[in-house]
Chain A
């Protein structure tokens, strides 16, 4: 398994659970690196069930939303599924305002999300 700088990757059954190491997902060199790491899970490692756990994330901007949308597209093309969980209220507001809560399957916590695959 690859070593990642920005994410922690664990297996729970056949689901790949991803946690973010950065508390703030913002536009700088790190967001590009984060994007590459997330995309490699689908493109290079062929993982088809991804759960993104946002419990460590205190802030994200629209640049991070862009990476998540691209990841979602890649996953749908590959025939897999992504679920999001543990999103704090302010960040959930970002998803609802942009209507991305309709694009992504967002669950309260990791157990809910795992059960939904």
Chain B
């Protein structure tokens, strides 16, 4: 790992230590469409119970779905011998999801812009853009095989 990578890890641990998590889970799923449905539904149930608003729940459901589908299809390429590790943390103000596949990784910078008029009719390639739009933070590790998604709760919500 490079020094920048180590610094990022240290920063991550400090940030994590400062958060107060009310619920978390760490599970591995097989590389099959729909295999993570239970984890996704459980996180959404916890968020609704904690009165996260409809848009925030939609955003987290969408970003998590896109990240998991990418991990299964592009990362593990539906190889059922490979797993996807999904970790979720839920706190009063922040939800954090980490999705790690066992594929070779990729460089997010190589993913073309799906809104390019030339690519607008291409049926694939919109997941990363949607994650970035709907979440507060989207970060890939150096290899590209782990993505961290965070959604911070909007200020001034109804209690």
Interface residues of A (CB under 8 A from B): 26-29, 59, 61-63, 65-67, 69-70, 72-73, 90, 93-94, 97-100, 102-103
Contact = CB atoms under 8 A, between A and B. Distances in A.
Contact of B129 (A59, A66, A72, A98): A98
Contacts of A26: 65
Interface residues of B, number: 24
A23 B130 CA distance: 20
A29 B126 CA distance: 20
24 contacts: A26-B65, A28-B33, A28-B37, A29-B34, A61-B66, A61-B127, A62-B69, A62-B124, A62-B126, A63-B69, A66-B123, A69-B121, A69-B122, A69-B123, A70-B123, A72-B121, A90-B54, A90-B55, A97-B130, A98-B129, A98-B130, A100-B120, A102-B120, A103-B121
A69 B66 CA distance: 17
A89 to B, nearest CB: 8
Given A28-B34, A63-B69, A98-B126, 14 more contacts: A26-B65, A27-B33, A27-B65, A27-B69, A61-B62, A61-B127, A61-B130, A62-B130, A66-B123, A67-B123, A69-B122, A70-B123, A94-B130, A102-B120
